[in-house]
Chains A and B, each alone.
Chain A
Amino acid sequence: MAEPLLSVKDLKVSFRTEDGLVRAVDGISFTVDEGEVVGIVGESGSGKSVTMMSVMRLITDPNVIYEGEIVYKGRNLMGLSQDAMREVRGEEIAMIFQDPMTSLNPVYTIGWQIEEQLNEHNDLKKGQARRRAIDLLAQVGIPRPEQRIDDHPHQFSGGMRQRVMIALALSCNPDLLIADEPTTALDVTIQAQILELIKNLKRDFGSAVVLITHDLGVVADIADRILVMYAGRIVEEGNKEQIFYDPQHPYTWGLLGSIARLDRPKRRRLTTIAGQPPSLINRPRGCSFRPRCPQAFDRCSVEDPALTAKVGDGHLDACHLSVEDKRARRDATIRPELAESA
């Protein structure tokens, strides 16, 4: 089997604070293959952004502590010098962020900002960078790119700015594109357009994509494989069909139950997951989802469940329940949903 493009091995990211060590990411491992789209799903504070910011080594907080390995194309990014890391950033791994309104520098034209990136990583002649920037803007669907290139970010709408961010990210043909909640700050119609754009560009550029979101609906269409994160750990991992049609972890059921569906005839109340994510400083003993889990039993408060393949075929989950037990209980909880999807 070919080596994966990115492989994260037992990554731990913690922050020293006055109240104690915050374990934002607590030992996660996963891989991303070339050209693959991986969705990372979880609520705020589950560690999904911190994980991918760590891959880019973009966390500037001096109190951060990293453990584990991030291997990209056979190189451990954790061991690279700042200068070597800069070569990776932007050129091999690019990132787009949640809020397009604030992610572009307000004082420079968008053309300047794209050209800056191009010139940083390539040896381009004068005018070449500008032509390439215009091409990129056209590719991400900015109308009249040869005029808009000299506009400043405030002259664009949110959706258009996110397109500019995508153009910026794609400017050096990265092999891996990390999209951190790229549609969260946009309204629904624009969300769909941006997701469509990412899908098409993924096809044209052949980059692998890691899509971070708190909305399972966003990854449903685009991701090949989905990781569900909770409190700094992966609680379930599988391909799209496995996660949507045979979810194993009660947390995933909760996420699935809280998606609003317009394609259902029956109106129903959206279910919520009761309670708050646990403190990342004093993690409760046993399974960290236990305090919020309606299915919890004795073993959950004593023993931490490991992420293992129980249903086989790359479908991993971290729950003590047996597969039969889970399926029966799940059908009782979100039965109507699954029955209709199947």
Chain B
Amino acid sequence: MRGVVGFLAPRLLRALIAVWLVTTVVFVVMRLSGDPVPLLLPPDAPTSEIHRVRRELGLDRPLPVQYGLMMKHIFVSRDLISYGSHTKVIPEILSAAPVTLSLVFGAAVIWIVFSILTGVAAAVLRGTIFDPFLMILALIGISVPVFWLGEVVNLVTQSRLHDSFLFSWVPPLGYTPLTQDPFMWFKQLFFPWLTLSVLYIGFYARVLRANLIETDSEDYIRTARAKGLSERRVLFRHTLRTSMITFVSLFGLDFAVLVGGGALLTEVVFGLPGVGLLTYNSLTSLDLPVIMTTVVYAAFFITLASALVDLVYAWLDPRVRLA
């Protein structure tokens, strides 16, 4: 029991400090970057109207008071209101979260499977033409911007070749909840998944290949071969197993960033009403309450993920296990 407390307490404390710092920085930066009131009103609104809205939103009060009130509305009364839509922000995020989670989970499965396949294949085929070929492919995957790739995918599947037998099954852009129609959920998310995972497949495959090759020259891999194990067993039980340590720690943080709204571009391109799209819309209208809440939400996931990574890390690498 003490072990659990000892594991959680420092992480919780660090998370609180992180959330406080992040919210403060976001608050200050957003306040410096402009006045949201003119964006909410028609361009010819009278000055009296501007003053009225400003007072209504509490933007005429001292900055520390505004900050305090905002934190109170997020964490205590949980009823922060958006400047733009005048709806409560927290339910809005909670309804956007499943969309983002669906997108990121699916993409993560694809990128784990394909990056391991590609990385292992490249490492095993080192010295043949396939290794540089795969690595160039991976580099292309990393280099292609996701918004461009997404638009090309849309152009092909929604318009140019939509009537061909290949893509006639692709439904219009949007999101259908898994609980409502699992088949539709899958069909609508299929191309967003592929698009989002391309970058990560490339990146993870390259990292894994480099790791596998480095691990292969370790003394304990020589020991494994001296034991008379098959090359397959040496690869999967020894080389790959120790190479996964880096892979996992990378994965935890990338995954958290995406769940926290980092899949913004993919969501915008494919019209998925997730946290990323919410963040994007609130940024363009300087809607501070929404921005602030999405930031807190993202910080929560990143903290959670790094704690999980620590746990998995300890499981993968006995050397870092708690004494």
Contacts and interface: CB of A to CB of B under 8 A. Distances in A.
Interface in B105-122: none
Interface in B166-221: 216, 218-220
Interface string B218-258: 11101111111111010001100110010000000000000
B68 interface: no
A336 interface: no
Interface string A89-109: 111001101010011111101
B292 to A, nearest CB: 42
B242 A105 contact: yes
Contacts of B237: 116
A106 B319 contact: yes
Interface stretch (A80-88, A192-200, A208-216): A80-88
B217 to A, nearest CB: 8
A109 B237 CA distance: 13
Interface residues of A, number: 31
Given A152-B318, A154-B319, A105 B228 contact: no
A106 B228 contact: no
Contacts of B227: 89-90, 116-117, 120, 168
B127 interface: yes
A6 interface: no
A103 B228 contact: no
**Is chain B's binding surface mostly helix, strand, loop or mixed?**
helix
B223 A165 contact: yes
Contacts of A109: 318
A62 interface: yes
B316 interface: yes
Contacts of B226: 56, 58, 89-90, 94-95, 97
A121 interface: yes
Contacts of B242: 105-107
Contacts of A82: 231
Nearest to A114: B227
B225 A58 contact: yes
Nearest to B315: A107
Nearest to A87: B228
B229 A105 contact: no
Nearest to A53: B222
B92 interface: no
Given A86-B229, A89-B227, A107-B318, 19 more contacts: A58-B222, A58-B225, A58-B226, A60-B225, A86-B228, A88-B228, A90-B228, A102-B220, A103-B219, A103-B223, A106-B242, A107-B242, A107-B245, A109-B318, A116-B229, A116-B237, A117-B228, A165-B223, A168-B227
Interface of A: 56, 58, 60, 62, 82-83, 86-91, 94-95, 97, 99, 102-107, 109, 116-117, 120-121, 152, 154, 165, 168
6 contacts: A94-B226, A97-B223, A97-B226, A103-B219, A107-B241, A120-B227
- For the complex of A and B, list the 9 residue pairs with the smallest distance between their C-beta atoms, beginning with the closest: A90-B228, A89-B228, A102-B219, A152-B318, A105-B220, A90-B227, A117-B227, A103-B219, A86-B228
Interface of B: 127, 216, 218-220, 222-231, 233, 237-238, 241-242, 245, 316-319
